[in-house]
Amino acid sequence: MANQAKEEKKKLHPIVWFFFAIIIPLIVVITLTVIILSVSGFNVLDWTKEKVNNIPVLSNVVTTEEEREEETKDDNNNEKLTEQLASKDQEIEGLNQEIRQFESIIEQMEQEIARLEGNIEDAEAETAEEQSSSESTKTIAKSFEEMDNGQAASIMETMGTDLAVSILKEISDDVRGSIFDEMDPEIAAELTQSFVESN
């Protein structure tokens, strides 16, 4: 049993020997070298990052100052682009709102145009009706000028005041006077007053 313990110590001994003989002195030498180089003005950390960055697998783990600056620039550019997109989105929304307002105004104007066109059509229809009525009145007035004055007076006494006045307007002064002569004086006075007021 004592032999086995000695053999185990001997087996462990080379591992311990390797650690104390190689690893610890290597760490001490590297630390001293870094301190001496740093004191002399050599930037060991940047030099190490640069050299490690050239090794394919380790370059993914270590980032240099240049890479950090590029990442910062990229982040800043991304923020600027995001802000620009947000402002453009706001501008687009504002323009869309203006478009909706203009469409509303256009719709109101189209309704106003339709209303005015309807008024024009109504006015044209009234004008055509008045012209037709005026032509009919002229034709009837000619008939009254050609007919006997007594007969014309008795017809006018029975018709409405407005129609009688419009016919009297189209008749010559002489015929009008003769028709008034044949009429009942009260009706003639009423028609004369209506005739004067209509002019």
How far apart CA 118 and CA 116 sit, in angstroms, is 5
Q: What is the pLDDT of residue 64?
A: 59
Tell me which H or E stretch contains 76. helix 65-146
Average confidence score pLDDT of the chain: 79
Over residues 140-179, the pLDDT tens digits come to 778 777 878 788 788 878 888 788 888 878 888 788 888 8
**Under 8 Å between Cβ of 180 and 192:** yes
* Residue 37: Cβ within 10 Å count: 13
Q: What is the pLDDT of residue 101?
A: 94
* Residue (of 94, 166, 164) closest to 135 by Cα position: 166
Q: What is the pLDDT of residue 191?
A: 79
User: Is the pLDDT score of 81 beyond 70?
Assistant: yes
Higher pLDDT, 131 or 26: 26
How far apart CA 161 and CA 195 sit, in angstroms, is 9
Q: 172: alpha, beta or left, given left = phi > 0 and alpha = psi -120 to 50?
A: beta
Higher pLDDT, 120 or 5: 120
Both tokens of 111, joined, read 């309704």
Percentage of the chain modeled with pLDDT above 90: 14
Task: Spell out the domain ranges in the chain.
Answer: 17-62, 80-139, 147-199
How far apart CA 94 and CA 39 sit, in angstroms, is 63
User: Is the pLDDT score of 54 beyond 80?
Assistant: no
User: Is the pLDDT score of 35 beyond 60?
Assistant: yes
